[in-house]
A and B are shown apart, each in its own frame.
Chain A
């Protein structure tokens, strides 16, 4: 059969990459850090705030506005080659004094390295909840950044299409994963039901979709009037 996939055996990564093994007996703090942390320190001296190794995983805390540049360098530099973005997310602590952390998990597939980048966003009302988007480096960041925005309200500067993804467009109760958001939502069940019943069931397409496909003219006149009057549509 010509279609049989090629089967590869371990060993296709960069030759100086260490043979991976299941990590055991990791210390809570300390231990060998990912060499990329030192490389980042050397390259971006002022922008690296601190490096922590927790359970064998290296976290690098970086300057908010320098992040885009650093990720670009990690991706492009032949000694780093972080070509894979595993995850973008955020952490808010129960203690309101602690800043929100935005977390990027990067992988270097050729060197088999794993690196965590973090940006602190203090909740002092002065720092904007905004970090640079890495969409220009990793296309996979698209939905992950949208989800992070949807759940935490953190804006990603430079993202081409930053809108809600899991919650619907007109959702205005806030950002569900923030600690000031109650587990059962802000509104009572009765109010949530009332809002659901008051939603416009005709609105199936967003305005963006309607303009793209020139389907706006096909809508019933009453609906066109309402949309032109500024009514927001559903997804």
Chain B
């Protein structure tokens, strides 16, 4: 199950061998002061030959290391996982059903609440899908603002992932550093849209608000100071003996398997497949930004950590480019079939008044059709599939949840690993149950 890999450990402990795997620690001290170590554990083949009863163990749904209400039923042979049966659905709220009873702009607050670590990114993704369905184009300023929103939300999500995974594996300090920086991003969002977590920042055809005066200076300050924290966390974790020992060789997915299982985002890139929706199926002019796609080599938990660390740096790069190219001009589209006309025009111009009336009374109505727009969310390929039958409410609103598909491979990933490694592997998937259960 483990792959051969050598990591140069800087802050190593004596408990690691050359491969970075933990040695058996001395457990008991004899009367004479000598130390007795345990016998090395038998190899897996021998262990399977032992006639032992398998045990059933239940993790969750109320368990802090399952990152929400995930429930894993594990069949154990000793301490080794033979089989893992995940149960989900404890947080099922029927978002897709509710969306069929709401107008397009009214669905946007629901998108906040599925993947709540990426709420502003979901808002942007939904607006992009709805705009394709309405057939309208957004303004250049709006495009750049949305890129800033998406990358800020990627930083938030990766920082939360980093912090909580550190806690799961036993490191506390990087958690505090990560959450301190996350707080700074939330301050930026709060100044922009007035909310921290449930942003509802976009509208079909534009944004809820333009950025306030002085906001770009705050963003520039963040871009300048944030990489220092990434470097600090990098220094503490990447060559840390305990971290390496608890992550290397776990939950390995080969490149072919990762693609076949439908993994996306850092999960598939850690396996060496350079699939990034931003580059392969671009949106928001991502093809004009200069950024790189980190890929791993082994597809284990350690590689997923490295990929996400590098993505934090690349996101900062994209933010810096977006900040310099932000053009002046209107934020909202001037297509008043979808975007409300300004109040002064609605009171003085007949056509604007009709648009205003139609929008408020009936809601904007897209033509017959359907659209599937996918974006690269921090977890992977996030797709919104919308079908319109010509009325003001979608006939179907489907969320393609990346963590749902990523989690479906957990049975394959934990098989043959130790019970304690299940926590690390589960953490490495970066799940948000709000998105999985919807």
A48 vs B33: C-alpha distance in the bound complex, in angstroms? 80
The chain A residue sitting closest to B404, CB to CB, is: A143
Partner of B408, one of A5, A140, A213: A140
A134 vs B310: C-alpha distance in the bound complex, in angstroms? 35
CB pair A92–B396 under 8 Å, yes or no, is: yes
The verdict on B137 contacting chain A, using a C-beta distance below 8 Å, is yes
CB pair B297–A55 under 8 Å, yes or no, is: no
Give chain A nearest CB distance to B253 CB in angstroms.
11
Q: Which residues of A contact B273 (CB under 8 A)?
A: 109
The verdict on B293 contacting chain A, using a C-beta distance below 8 Å, is yes
Known: A87-B383, A183-B101, A212-B54. A6 touches B285 (CB 8 A): no
Partner of A89, one of B270, B310, B385: B385
CB pair A5–B303 under 8 Å, yes or no, is: yes
Main secondary structure of the interface of B (DSSP, over half): mixed
CB pair B55–A20 under 8 Å, yes or no, is: no
Partner of B89, one of A22, A84, A165, A210: A165
CB pair B395–A112 under 8 Å, yes or no, is: no
Known: A3-B302, A5-B310. A26 touches B132 (CB 8 A): yes
A221 vs B208: C-alpha distance in the bound complex, in angstroms? 61
Partner of B137, one of A25, A147, A209: A25
Interface size class of A (residues with CB under 8 A): 35 or more
The verdict on B85 contacting chain A, using a C-beta distance below 8 Å, is yes
A93 vs B393: C-alpha distance in the bound complex, in angstroms? 12
CB pair B97–A177 under 8 Å, yes or no, is: yes
Give chain B nearest CB distance to A93 CB in angstroms.
6
CB-contacts of B28-78 with A (<8 A): 53-56, 58, 71, 73, 75
CB pair B73–A209 under 8 Å, yes or no, is: yes
Q: Which residues of B contact A155 (CB under 8 A)?
A: none
The chain B residue sitting closest to A168, CB to CB, is: B89
CB pair A8–B367 under 8 Å, yes or no, is: no
A54 vs B270: C-alpha distance in the bound complex, in angstroms? 34
Known: A24-B137, A87-B400, A91-B395. A109 touches B374 (CB 8 A): no
Q: Which residues of A contact B409 (CB under 8 A)?
A: 139-140
Residue in A3, A140, A168 with the greatest tally of chain B CB atoms within 10 Å: A3
The verdict on B87 contacting chain A, using a C-beta distance below 8 Å, is yes
A177 vs B56: C-alpha distance in the bound complex, in angstroms? 34
Give chain A nearest CB distance to B388 CB in angstroms.
10
The chain A residue sitting closest to B268, CB to CB, is: A84
A86 vs B270: C-alpha distance in the bound complex, in angstroms? 18
The verdict on B279 contacting chain A, using a C-beta distance below 8 Å, is yes
**Which of B104-112, B153-161, B257-265 is the interface stretch?**
B257-265
Main secondary structure of the interface of A (DSSP, over half): loop
Give chain A nearest CB distance to B236 CB in angstroms.
13
Known: A5-B306, A5-B307, A183-B97. A112 touches B389 (CB 8 A): no
The chain A residue sitting closest to B143, CB to CB, is: A22
CB pair B135–A26 under 8 Å, yes or no, is: yes
Partner of B259, one of A5, A83, A183: A83
CB pair B292–A105 under 8 Å, yes or no, is: no
CB-contacts of B84-115 with A (<8 A): 85, 87-89, 92, 94, 96-98, 101
The verdict on A4 contacting chain B, using a C-beta distance below 8 Å, is yes
CB pair B293–A86 under 8 Å, yes or no, is: no
* 12 further interface pairs, Cβ-Cβ under 8 Å (given A24-B137, A55-B371): A2-B7, A5-B296, A5-B303, A20-B287, A54-B370, A55-B132, A55-B370, A86-B400, A87-B398, A94-B389, A139-B260, A147-B404
Residues of A whose CB lies within 8 Å of any CB of B are: 1-10, 12-13, 19-22, 24-26, 28-29, 54-55, 57, 59, 83-87, 89, 91-95, 103, 105, 107, 109, 112, 114, 116, 138-144, 147, 151, 164-168, 176-177, 181, 183, 204-205, 209-210, 212-215, 235
Cross-chain pairs A/B with CB under 8 angstroms, 25 sampled? A2-B6, A2-B8, A5-B307, A6-B297, A7-B294, A8-B274, A9-B293, A20-B281, A22-B286, A28-B369, A86-B372, A87-B383, A87-B385, A93-B395, A138-B262, A140-B260, A140-B262, A144-B405, A165-B89, A176-B97, A177-B97, A204-B58, A205-B58, A205-B73, A214-B54
